[in-house]
Amino acid sequence: DIQMTQSPSSLSASVGDRVTITCRASQSIRSSLNWYQQKPGKAPQILIYTTSSLRSGVPSRFSGSGSGTDFTLTISGLQPEDFATYYCQQTYSTPTFGQGTRLEIK
Amino acid sequence: QVQLQESGPGLVRPSETLSLTCTVSGDSISSYYWSWIRQTPGKGLEWIGYIFYTGSSSSNPSLKSRVTISIDTSKNQFSLKLSSVTAADTAVYYCARVFYGGNSGEYLQDWGQGTLVTVSS
């Protein structure tokens, strides 16, 4: 299995901040990397697919970049509704997820 | 807008078979890939497998020998069976629709609300 490691595991930030979450794969996954947002008691929702493509309806303050083994999710100008847990997922081989990054209000 | 709803027992005895059904509404199941995923506090999100409307399926090698995924296009449903369950299979189980776009990527496009299945005697 390809292991996905996210950092940090948790993050405190304020409304309006710019935050970056990192996801590292144990081997190259080219650009086969997705990002999901999950709020308490809800299912994850796709934000970004194939590293940098924004799902329709997702605000443009979300962006993704990277390739190979290192990827980032950036949120520019945090909004109150963005405080949630974020997961990366690789689909290069048997899909696997990162352990999640919990974004909390400072 | 497509909606997915998981259904099945919330409690399963150890060594028995977990059975869940996902009912799809708002779109035909006779297209797309359909997937099962589970989530535990300890292991996080785990992909279980997926099935195409033709019946072609694939599952996680770590679970493969215990997993059966099937589809019933007449009922717009697909199902999961996980045999020989233990406490480690206690999780929230989700069904999801897969966007599979070849070079355009693959992702879990729409999700059910999830159902908690507890394995306990």
A14-65 pLDDT tens trace = 999 999 999 999 999 999 999 999 999 999 999 999 999 999 999 999 999 9
C-alpha to C-alpha distance for B70 and A38, rounded to whole angstroms: 27
Count of residues for chain B?
A: 121
- Best residue in A34, A54, A101 to probe B by mutation, most B CBs within 10 Å? A34
pLDDT in tens, A69-99: 999 999 999 999 999 999 999 999 999 999 9
| Average pLDDT of the segment spanning B98-107 | 86
pLDDT above 90: percentage of residues in chain B: 89
- Contact B100/A at CB under 8 A: no
Judged by DSSP in three states, B76 sits in coil
pLDDT at B102 over 80: no
The CB density around residue B13, as the number of other CB atoms within 10 Å, is: 12
Residue A11's φ and ψ, nearest 5 degrees, are -150, 130
The CA distances from residue B50 to A46, A70, A106, B80, in Å, are: 17, 27, 39, 10
Q: B109 contacts in A (CB within 8 Å)?
A: 46
Q: A9 contacts in B (CB within 8 Å)?
A: none
